[in-house]
Structure 1
């Protein structure tokens, strides 16, 4: 007996610890830790994510997604060895995990282990032979390993397979550029040119390839081809500085100096301040001079002027020829030579001024003009020229972003002529370019004080005010301009653009009410402005003002009745307003007009689905199903319509139709977890549990989360029709040393309407061995009515000779269940008959039952009451129970042995228990009860029961 005590105590302790863990454990499971790790990874908190990942793997070592995430985290933190380890673990467990191949390839590429990377990409392509991403990876590996010949063959095949894919086109071009550069570095001009030309076949505008081929033409002396290539490029892009400079260089290499000088003049005309072009001029002319040394008249005159500096005719000729050729620096040099001999020569000084101005050296020219003006009591023309030169000099500084020097020049121009509008305008522009709006406004205000109605200054001030956020003042000025020029569309457009800009910026600042005010003001000025209409439609829709949004949509459609975007927005608004018939009519028209545009077909089907959902919410499933069928007629693969149809058909118990839709969804989306799950649910509804369990297993393979595994276990349990059980009841007393035990074996069989069971009870006593056989039946008559029946017979050594029981249960509204029954007990020549009545109620996870027994043991009559409460957990697989009783009932197994003696005693009892089910198949429970019996007015005795259960389905 002592050994039994220890075993029993250990069992009770283990089960109680399990109960405590179930009730009080609050630790996060592996899925929660994984989700947190993903969030931390997105926030770049890699170390925190690694810690969470390790905790998740401790709880579930075979968590494949978590292992891959940990491999990625180690890759992001530069730990290639650990990254490689976890990615390999994933591939070993799941060779179909595509992302794992991509990570493995990247790890090996980073380590320059190209052969290993190629092994991984080939293995991935074995499982996913047409996967574009993996194929691009393989091309990248071949390029990184400098295996350009194999890469070229692979790139051609890849382009043939995905001819219209832009990512493949970029990879193809990139491969041939890389190969061309590789061969060019190794002086293999033939292969280099061949690869660059292949790149140009797909991307004719590729600058890198064109420049490389042009360079090869030049090195090989093929100037004609090089010129032809550059001219072809200039025909497409005539304003390209780079192409024009390249042509200049080629002409110079060909000694076509006339063409080269002409090309240089074109460049300087476009970019007069370009230092590179200006510096090229002298070198080019010197080369031309050397080339034409024996035939150029300029050189002959220059020779004379060199030998005889006082020869004015030769000097004038050299200066004139230099200026006519655009060689301003040479002309200036000759002028300076002449001024050495005659510093105050007015003609030479005027020529120098002309040369400096022609050479765009406006700062020097302005200083010289100022000198001439002071020396000769400057005329109005000289003052005007001086002011113009200062403005031109300021422009140059402004173009070079030397704002302080530019402002100084404009200021000197204004000192000469305070009313010069150009100087004022450029000074304002200089401040605007520096974002110095305060000084810009000061300059503009001064300008407007002189020219109060100048449209240019007003327009510029309006723009500056808008930049500073002073939209109302800016709009006032724009309105003033419009009033001055009511027929000029430019000012009307300016006011509209200003308010549109203000509205956009207010939207960026999330000032939506103010933004809407600006857009409404635009519509006052321009009722057909589609941009303002679109903004207002979007704003009103965003804040839930569908009525206002519809007004603006209708206003837009008055001006643009066929505008498909406005029609689509109107359909969306009507959908939001649940005016589905009107919305769907518009979407249908758009779909008919543009049958090949997916978004209109999608808008129509989305509208039908939204209308169907409304019918579904309003408990009109037939109308909803009709709409979903319309969607499927348009798009048989529409996943939402399929899923909603399956749900509704299951609700209508049209399981065959629901199953057909589920199979249709699986056909189009073979790896879609949702459709396979719905097939399993539908098969469960059809009570086809074996087929449903197979479908649930497929879901687990796709996503082995605990919910899916649990459902698969549940369906598997439904396929099991038999159950074996073992029960052990131990009773001890404080008024005697004897302890009573009852062991029970049970076999139960489940059938469509219930179950039946056979039990054998065993109890050993000093007076002999007690055996009792039991037969039990649960039978469901209909969804609201079922019966319970029990019959027992024993050898009367320990157990009552006969027990009979029958109850019928009825389910009422609001989860209320009632019971009426009868019990018969024959023990120790005593016969008792009892009536039973109970009522039970369910509140979410709580179940409460109150049962009363009315016992007739002639000539006595007794009553007994029992209250049972259960709290269910884990989808009602497990529960904790609490019981309280008054009196001894004919269903109390532990006291039926002494029932005739105890029936009249005042008995109170309380008990608690816990039952746990593992995978819907194995159920274990432990229950304890304390019974207090009043023997006399002063004497009480206590009984303690421990009841252990174990059941297994098979």
Structure 2
């Protein structure tokens, strides 16, 4: 017993010690969050010292605050304190190794300190977590360039191009790498390596001027003027009016002693740029130098003069062609070749030379036409066949650059026809179809190529890619799986197969084919167990298939391997929430929210889960439980509009209107212009029957949301504040019997509305043939409670125009929601008669229809009569207006038009039918018009008729 007591004492002591600590930690977490927000604001304002001070303060409050550690590391980086920055970034990576931004900051810090090995290490670590991520791959290439590891960088650049070849950002980065490498090697006199890198830059970006200019400059420094001239002429083909290029060409011609061309070009430059003094200053010196150079020494001039004198001299022609080619004057050589072909059009040697010259001048199509003729003459010439295939490929590439796809297709098809075993032609042909958005034709070309090269991995890989893009995932998979079995260590094949399965799964998910999608994601996990995207999709598929238990089991299995994976935990909470297991979901989300207090989605998910739990409790008629849940939401976010609105509704439903008003006012403090909270406040005040305050609130609502419904509501509430009403009534009755053929009653009424009903005073003025009279009336409606109210009437008249006296009383009781019953009595004194009546009625409301059946039991000694009235109304415009239809049998003591004749009419068979329409304007002015036909049978063959018209006008004030 003593031991048990001691245990309880220790437990209570421990609890007392822990609870304040827990509360203190929670308060510190909130304080740290507030300080973190201030630090972020200071950083955005570039107030770095203040931001650092606030960040350190936040870490003092919560040392394991990962987002704050990252922010402090970033601030130290921005202020050049790299050692301190490195310390905090490493802390982040130790705690959260998948924190993407931390790797970017770590790489930048090491680059700033020229710690290239460390920077590359961080890039590799990031790629380990984010395999194939473009941004980190570009970062790694940049680190290699900074470290001057150009050889490894070039290999990595090719890997980037293989993966992201169509990405313009990658193309620019790779081009920049080759330019940087070329510049480095050129400065260090590694000319071959420099040339190789500049040419690779041109392969990636054929229009890159920097690479072209660098290659041209290298050719000039190496006295390779012919090569430099070729590049300049190639650039002039696309920029024929460039002054710098024209002057550069002039300089090359000068260096090559090709004075005729130089002089001709100089004259052309002067014509295009007549004001250029630099060009004009070379006119005389260039000619003087040419004259000295050619004086009796130039073989070219000598052979030209021989050919001029003897045009058929083949030796001179061959010499001139050779001299032109040796000088790099290919167009000039082409002119001499054309001159020879005029006299010998079938000369195979000249035709071959012409094809060479056209190829050198990048006129591949024309060269191919000549090569085609030569091959037709010598079908077995292997060299000519290879040249023709090469020319068609080059021609097709040129057409591709110019986006002339039909011409490119023709060229590649010709290349495939000439050299069917070549692999470049089908590859380029398929690419051309893809550029035209014709994947089916590209697949056909690849199928034909695979018939000749069945094991070509490049063709198989390209076909699988195209099929996957076409959505034919099964066929793509059928290609990739054997490839992967053949090359199991090839990560490219494995990645592509995973991408195919993932793409197929996504499409199937979009089409709600969850079972098939599930198999695709399982295939990905078989290739790479734990692949996060496939796992997420697989769980989503099982959830959509109403297999939450399976999805949860899979999540639990994954969490055993990685128990702190917040994405898996978040997904599990989501499934639990959809299964209405709000408590379990809330426990997970609360843990995530506290662990990552600045991750908005966790905080929002936690509150959404609470809201779902609260609304479920509300639907289950558990208002107290729902209120408690919504208060939890407001404790986290006191501005949560949904929780505030739900809470207001619940308090209104419980009749706790003061509490509902507190939350409505709280919502308006945070959302002063929000119509929903304004409307809730109006409704709550109306429920309290505080119509004056409700009307003022409705006017405020109109300022922010002036809709027809809100205007109507404001009018209704304003009418509720009006306590008085004045009415005018006029009844016109006419008869087709007796000496008095008409009877008119004009009535003025004053009514006052009070909290429990209303009372009224009326003055009736009546006129008949026999004279006029006045009758005064007092009327009362009094509400006893929610289900009972009374009606009372007393009237007195001083002439025969009205009955001498009337008394009436009825008690009404409501059963259920809409059935109302009446029990009452009536007294009427007219002439010498004293008539007593009992009244019973029942009424019901069916949607917009109202029906009332009333029976009167009338005693006029020694006689006893009955009378029945059936009243129906059809309400319109939110019950403001109605159509009326009345049918009666007998004469009742409540019929104003026949009260003065009641003793004479009570025993007659009387039937009546009437109709009317009442219109209320803005709940203040009521207009009514009614008509009734009454038929009385006074003998078996004689009937008499009465016609009533009743007009009303009432106005509240």
TM-score bracket, normalised by the shorter chain, equals: 0.5 to 0.7
Matches within 5 A, 1:437-476: 440-466=442-468, 470-476=472-478
Shift of 1:622: 2.2
Helix, strand or coil: the match of 2:481?
A: helix
Contact residue 800 and residue 900 of structure 2 kept, 8 A: no
Shift of 1:861: 2.3
Partner of 1:183: none
1:916 maps onto 2:880 in alignment: no
Helix, strand or coil: the match of 2:673?
A: coil
CA distance in 2, matches of 1:238, 1:416: 29
Aligned in 2, Cα 1:279/1:900: closer, same or farther, shift over 3 Å? closer
| CA RMSD across the alignment | 5.1
Aligned in 2, Cα 1:473/1:741: closer, same or farther, shift over 3 Å? same
Contact residue 321 and residue 333 of structure 2 kept, 8 A: no
Matches within 5 A, 1:435-834: 440-466=442-468, 470-502=472-504, 518=520, 521-523=523-525, 525-526=527-528, 528-533=530-535, 568=570, 570-738=572-740, 739-765=742-768, 769-834=772-837
Aligned in 2, Cα 1:905/1:427: closer, same or farther, shift over 3 Å? closer
Helix, strand or coil: the match of 1:782?
A: coil
Shift of 1:332: 8.3
Partner of 2:850: 847
Helix, strand or coil: the match of 1:735?
A: coil
Shift of 1:789: 1.5
For residue 871 of structure 1, the aligned residue among 868, 871, 874 is 874
Contact residue 257 and residue 288 of structure 1 kept, 8 A: no
Partner of 2:841: 838
Contact residue 772 and residue 792 of structure 1 kept, 8 A: yes
Question: Deviations 1:331-377 (Å, cap 9, x if unpaired)?
Answer: 9899999999x999999999999887777666677789899999999
CA distance in 2, matches of 1:909, 1:377: 117
Aligned in 2, Cα 1:931/1:360: closer, same or farther, shift over 3 Å? closer
CA distance in 1, matches of 2:229, 2:634: 64
CA distance in 1, matches of 2:467, 2:207: 41
Q: What TM-score, normalized by structure 2, do the two folds share?
A: 0.63
Contact residue 322 and residue 330 of structure 1 kept, 8 A: no
Question: Deviations 1:895-920 (Å, cap 9, x if unpaired)?
Answer: 22122222333322222222221111
CA distance in 2, matches of 1:909, 1:682: 46
Partner of 2:88: none
Matches within 5 A, 1:107-506: 245=209, 275-276=237-238, 283-287=247-251, 304-306=298-300, 388=390, 391-401=393-403, 418-434=420-436, 440-466=442-468, 470-502=472-504
Listed as ranges, the gaps of 5+ residues in structure 1 are 1-204, 206-233
Question: Deviations 1:824-854 (Å, cap 9, x if unpaired)?
Answer: 2223232232222211111111111122222
Contact residue 241 and residue 267 of structure 1 kept, 8 A: no
Shift of 1:811: 0.9
For residue 892 of structure 2, the aligned residue among 889, 892, 902 is 889
Greater C-alpha radius of gyration: 2
Contact residue 267 and residue 277 of structure 1 kept, 8 A: no
Contact residue 804 and residue 829 of structure 2 kept, 8 A: yes
Question: Deviations 1:669-725 (Å, cap 9, x if unpaired)?
Answer: 333222222222222222221221122122233333322221111111111111112
Shift of 1:251: 13
Matches within 5 A, 1:97-116: none
Question: Deviations 1:248-282 (Å, cap 9, x if unpaired)?
Answer: 89999xx9995899999899999989942799766
Aligned in 2, Cα 1:562/1:743: closer, same or farther, shift over 3 Å? same
Helix, strand or coil: the match of 2:784?
A: strand
Question: Deviations 1:169-196 (Å, cap 9, x if unpaired)?
Answer: xxxxxxxxxxxxxxxxxxxxxxxxxxxx
Helix, strand or coil: the match of 2:672?
A: coil
CA distance in 1, matches of 2:563, 2:334: 68
Contact residue 731 and residue 740 of structure 1 kept, 8 A: yes
CA distance in 2, matches of 1:611, 1:268: 78
Contact residue 810 and residue 819 of structure 1 kept, 8 A: yes
CA distance in 2, matches of 1:668, 1:566: 35
Q: What TM-score, normalized by structure 1, do the two folds share?
A: 0.63
For residue 936 of structure 1, the aligned residue among 913, 925, 939 is 939
Helix, strand or coil: the match of 1:759?
A: strand
Aligned in 2, Cα 1:264/1:352: closer, same or farther, shift over 3 Å? closer
Shift of 1:380: 6.9
Contact residue 678 and residue 701 of structure 2 kept, 8 A: yes
CA distance in 2, matches of 1:833, 1:659: 52
CA distance in 1, matches of 2:665, 2:582: 30
Partner of 1:133: none
Question: Deviations 1:120-145 (Å, cap 9, x if unpaired)?
Answer: xxxxxxxxxxxxxxxxxxxxxxxxxx
Contact residue 251 and residue 260 of structure 1 kept, 8 A: no
Shift of 1:874: 1.5
Partner of 1:71: none
CA distance in 1, matches of 2:226, 2:749: 107
CA distance in 1, matches of 2:545, 2:229: 56
Partner of 1:190: none
CA distance in 2, matches of 1:499, 1:555: 22
How many residues align structurally? 714
Contact residue 917 and residue 924 of structure 1 kept, 8 A: yes
Shift of 1:404: 6.2
Aligned in 2, Cα 1:589/1:902: closer, same or farther, shift over 3 Å? same
Partner of 1:8: none
CA distance in 1, matches of 2:683, 2:424: 82
CA distance in 2, matches of 1:251, 1:411: 34
Partner of 2:183: none
Shift of 1:751: 1.0
Q: Which moved more, 1:540-549 or 1:393-402?
A: 540-549
Aligned in 2, Cα 1:369/1:544: closer, same or farther, shift over 3 Å? same
CA distance in 2, matches of 1:511, 1:565: 24
Partner of 1:949: 952
1:898 maps onto 2:901 in alignment: yes
Shift of 1:742: 2.0
Q: Which moved more, 1:575-584 or 1:782-791?
A: 575-584
Partner of 1:121: none
Helix, strand or coil: the match of 1:636?
A: coil
Contact residue 219 and residue 225 of structure 2 kept, 8 A: no
Shift of 1:859: 2.8
Shift of 1:468: 5.5
CA distance in 1, matches of 2:414, 2:916: 101
Question: Deviations 1:623-649 (Å, cap 9, x if unpaired)?
Answer: 222222233333333322222222222
Shift of 1:780: 0.9
CA distance in 2, matches of 1:264, 1:607: 77
